[in-house]
Amino acid sequence: MSTGTTKLDVTVADVVPVNELVTRFHFRPTDGGLLPTFSGGAHVVVEMRDGDTTRLNPYSLMSSPLDTAEYTISVRRDDAGRGGSLFMHRAVKPGDRMVVSYPVNLFSLDLRAKKHLMIAGGIGITPFMAQTAQLAATSGNFELHYACRTASLFTYGDTLAERYGRRIHLYHDDRGEKIELTRLLSSQPLGTHLYVCGPAPMIDWVRRTAAEAGWPPETVHFEHFSAPQPGVPFDVELAVSGKTIHVGEQQSLLEAIEAAGVDPPYLCRGGVCGQCETNVIASDGKFLHNDHWLTEEEHRSGRKIMPCVSRFEGRSLVLER
Amino acid sequence: MAVKSIISRPVYGTLSPQPGSDHLLIADAEGAAAILDLAKSAPADFFAEAEIVFIPRDTGEKYIAALKALQPARFYEGPSIAAALPRLRQRLSTAHMGLRLYLTGTEGLIGQAMQAALEAGIDHKSIQTEQRGSLARRVQCVHCKGITEDVTTQPARCSHCGLMLLVRDHYSRRIAAFQGVCINAEDPSQVPPMEEMFK
């Protein structure tokens, strides 16, 4: 059960290959009209019906928040992932009917900021596509620094440069171009907020460097693109519903709970929003915590787990579900 | 010590050195002692990148030498909060990220400096604060909107319109003042006794 979010029936209006790894999908409401408004940084959870498997993957909306005739997402193909992105790339065609959640924003702009400094890595560019469109329309002050492996994988690099000119700075890894972060951070006017979306090591680097440079935590915003990791299968007892479930190698604990007909709350399915936090009643084994919600102390306590991204290895696990 | 009676009532902490490249410490009166306490746990090079703005008020010369002995990069001694504020706004308008703000002393000083900081885009949670010395309040009369500084009594007389005001814990960060509401609107002839509540 997605907390407070109603589902939207949409039809795939277009499928556009962007480069060798990324494809863009356009969704329009099946019954016509406009989609609900959203703000830059919001995501939707896309339901993928793949035979017997249902996957629910979050994707940032990358279209302009000023145009709600359609939602667009960009999906990077992950050949080693759990199959959601491969399904989107291979199976989804224009005209298909799909279900997406209402938009939820866990990575919103702080509009009190005097300036927005954005740092993107790879496919982490997608929320910034919407945020830059939103800011450009309101004369917001922003600057985007975007790093990618190669020119051919520079998803929307040209589009952004064309739209916003000198506000966009592109860095090619294969040309040895690096974001000079320390200098960049020290030259920002007071009242600047920092936003980072990309691979986990990049987010960690930016957050650490900003903290050392005296950027207060309130000014540093980040979005982890963490998908559930595959792992060793395990069994779980759900004490409240009286069920024992099996979590498959490619399945998340949350997905296994849902497949058993139990409906825990969720929003992000990526370990950040806190909705699916679940109490552990008993355990004999090791927790593999992958979330960014629980504190380190809670991770060590073995009394809570975020079933959307975290796993378990051991003899037995009993959850309050 | 301020107690969280209602949600808007600010509470203050204890100054501690933060990571940063530019430390701006602003104090009035006994707030100087909080800076001296902070100095005990500050890294060796902390004051080399720090500016102290101090308004002595009734402490006179008591703290000046000790503050200067910390050898801040800049030291400014001002005659009043009002005189220091335009200077603060100017300073913030040209500052960069990495600036950290430390406010200590009376609630009036903390509130007004924070008001200038909010306008400059600093989140109030990013500011270090410590209340020291007098508990006197800066009060806005909700009727005439005039502000009375250094209110120590309950009720208090509005220095603008003369109404007798109940000084509430209801606080506005935007105005940097507590709210004062007429205490005897039904019958102005009833004048409750004034007690010194905010010494």
- Mean pLDDT in chain A? 93
pLDDT at A292: 87
Which residues in chain A are classed under CATH 2.40.30.10? 7-105
Domain of residue B100: give its range.
22-131
Q: B127 and B143 share a domain?
A: no
CA-closest candidate to residue A229, choices A312, A108, A138, A147: A312
A230 or A305: which leads in pLDDT: A305
Q: Is the four-CA dihedral A171, A176, A182, A186 of positive or negative sign?
A: negative
Please state, for a pLDDT cut of 70, what percent of chain B lies above it: 99
CATH superfamily of A7-105: Translation factors (2.40.30.10)
Residues of A in contact with B88 (CB under 8 A): none
Judge whether B153 lies within some domain.
yes
Cα(A113)–Cα(A117) distance, integer angstroms: 10
pLDDT at A268: 84
- Model confidence at B55: pLDDT above 90: yes
Q: B69 and B102 share a domain?
A: yes
Q: What CATH topology corresponds to A234-319?
A: Ubiquitin-like (UB roll) (3.10.20)
**By CA distance, what is A191's nearest residue in B?**
B121
pLDDT at A53: 83
**By CA distance, what is A114's nearest residue in B?**
B121
Arithmetic mean of pLDDT, A120-137: 96
Contact A186 B99 (CB under 8 A): no
Arithmetic mean of pLDDT, B8-29: 96
3-state helix, strand, coil in chain B (%, to 5): 25, 30, 45
- Model confidence at A226: pLDDT above 70: no
B122 touches chain A (CB under 8 A): yes
Q: Is B41 exposed, middle or buried (0-12, 13-18, 19+ CB in 10 A)?
A: exposed
Residues of A in contact with B21 (CB under 8 A): 186, 213-214
**Which residue among B20, B96, B122 sits closest to A188, beta carbon to beta carbon?**
B96
Contact B21 A211 (CB under 8 A): no
- Show the 3-state SS of chain A: CECCCCEEEEEEEEEEECCCCEEEEEEEECCCCCCCCCCCCEEEEEEEEECCEEEEEEEECCCCCCCCCCEEEEEECCCCCCCHHHHHHHHCCCCCEEEEECCEECCCCCCCCCEEEEEEEHHHHHHHHHHHHHHHHCCCCEEEEEEECCHHHCCCHHHHHHHHHHHEEEEEHHHCCCCCHHHHHHCCECCEEEEEEECHHHHHHHHHHHHHCCCCHHHEEEEECCCCCCCCCEEEEECCCCEEEEECCCCCHHHHHHHCCCCCCECCCCCCCCCCCEEEEEEEEEEECCCCCCCHHHHHHCCEECCCCCEEEEEEEEECC
Q: Is the four-CA dihedral B46, B48, B51, B54 of positive or negative sign?
A: positive
Residues of B in contact with A216 (CB under 8 A): 18, 100, 123, 125-126
Arithmetic mean of pLDDT, B72-80: 96
Contact A213 B21 (CB under 8 A): yes
Q: How many domains does chain B have?
A: 2
pLDDT at B56: 97
Contact B20 A213 (CB under 8 A): yes
Judge whether B170 lies within some domain.
yes
Please state, for a pLDDT cut of 90, what percent of chain A lies above it: 82
Q: Identify the weakest region by mean pLDDT among A88-92, B80-84, B188-192.
A: B188-192
Residue-wise pLDDT for B29-44, tens only, equals: 999 999 999 999 999 9
- Model confidence at A80: pLDDT above 90: no
- Parallel/antiparallel/unpaired status of strands B22-28 and B50-55: parallel
**By CA distance, what is A210's nearest residue in B?**
B98
How far B51 CA sits from the closest chain A CA (Å)? 16
| Domain end (from B99, B114, B131) | B131
Residue-wise pLDDT for B129-171, tens only, equals: 999 999 999 999 999 999 999 999 999 999 999 999 999 999 9
Q: B53 and B79 share a domain?
A: yes
Do the beta carbons of residue B141 and residue B175 sit within 8 Å? no
Q: Identify the weakest region by mean pLDDT among A47-61, A218-232, B25-39, B175-189.
A: A218-232
Judge whether B44 lies within some domain.
yes
**Which residue among A112, A192, A217 sits closest to B97, beta carbon to beta carbon?**
A192
Do the beta carbons of residue B116 and residue B85 sit within 8 Å? yes
Using DSSP's 3-state secondary structure scheme, residue B24 falls into strand
Q: B42 and B123 share a domain?
A: yes
Residue-wise pLDDT for A233-271, tens only, equals: 999 999 999 999 999 988 899 989 998 999 899 888 888
Q: Taking a contact as any Cβ pair under 8 Å apart, which residues of chain B between 77 and 96 contact chain A? A: 92-93, 95-96
Arithmetic mean of pLDDT, A70-81: 93
- Model confidence at B76: pLDDT above 90: yes
Does the model's ipTM exceed the 0.85 cut? yes
- Mean pLDDT in chain B? 96
| Domain end (from B102, B131, B160) | B131
Q: B81 and B107 share a domain?
A: yes
pLDDT at B46: 97
**Which residue among B18, B96, B125 sits closest to A190, beta carbon to beta carbon?**
B96
* CATH number of the domain that residue B49 is part of: 3.40.50.80
**Which residue among A185, A190, A211 sits closest to B122, beta carbon to beta carbon?**
A190
Which residues in chain A are classed under CATH 3.40.50.80? 115-224
pLDDT at B80: 96
**By CA distance, what is A184's nearest residue in B?**
B97
Q: B71 and B103 share a domain?
A: yes
- Model confidence at A5: pLDDT above 80: no
Residues of B in contact with A218 (CB under 8 A): 123, 125-126
| Domain end (from B104, B131, B158) | B131
Q: B26 and B112 share a domain?
A: yes
Q: How far is CA B110 from CA B16, B28, B78, in A?
A: 16, 9, 15
B21 or A272: which leads in pLDDT: B21
Contact A190 B95 (CB under 8 A): yes
Q: B108 and B124 share a domain?
A: yes
B191 or B105: which leads in pLDDT: B105
Residue B177 CB: number of other CB atoms within 10 A? 25
CA-closest candidate to residue B56, choices B12, B26, B86, B23: B26
Residue-wise pLDDT for A132-171, tens only, equals: 999 999 999 999 999 999 999 999 999 999 999 999 999 9
Arithmetic mean of pLDDT, A198-219: 96
Rounded to the nearest angstrom, the gap between the alpha carbon of residue B196 and the centroid of all alpha carbons in its chain is: 20
- Model confidence at A3: pLDDT above 70: no
Judge whether B10 lies within some domain.
no
- Chain B interface test: which of A116, A183, A190, A209 (most B C-beta within 10 Å): A190
Arithmetic mean of pLDDT, A67-77: 96
- Model confidence at B128: pLDDT above 90: yes
DSSP 8-state code for residue B46: G
**What values do phi and psi take at A298, rounded to 5?**
-65, -35
pLDDT at B74: 97
The number of residues making up chain A comes to 321
**What values do phi and psi take at A171, rounded to 5?**
-125, 120
- Model confidence at B1: pLDDT above 80: no
Domain A115-224 has CATH 3.30.70.890: no
- Model confidence at A83: pLDDT above 90: no
How far B97 CA sits from the closest chain A CA (Å)? 5
Which residues in chain A are classed under CATH 3.10.20.30? 234-319
pTM of this prediction? 0.88
For residue B108, the number of C-alpha atoms closer than 13 Å in the C-beta half-sphere is: 24
Do the beta carbons of residue A127 and residue A223 sit within 8 Å? yes
Q: B112 and B43 share a domain?
A: yes
Q: B53 and B142 share a domain?
A: no
Q: B54 and B149 share a domain?
A: no
Arithmetic mean of pLDDT, A268-296: 92
Q: B28 and B119 share a domain?
A: yes
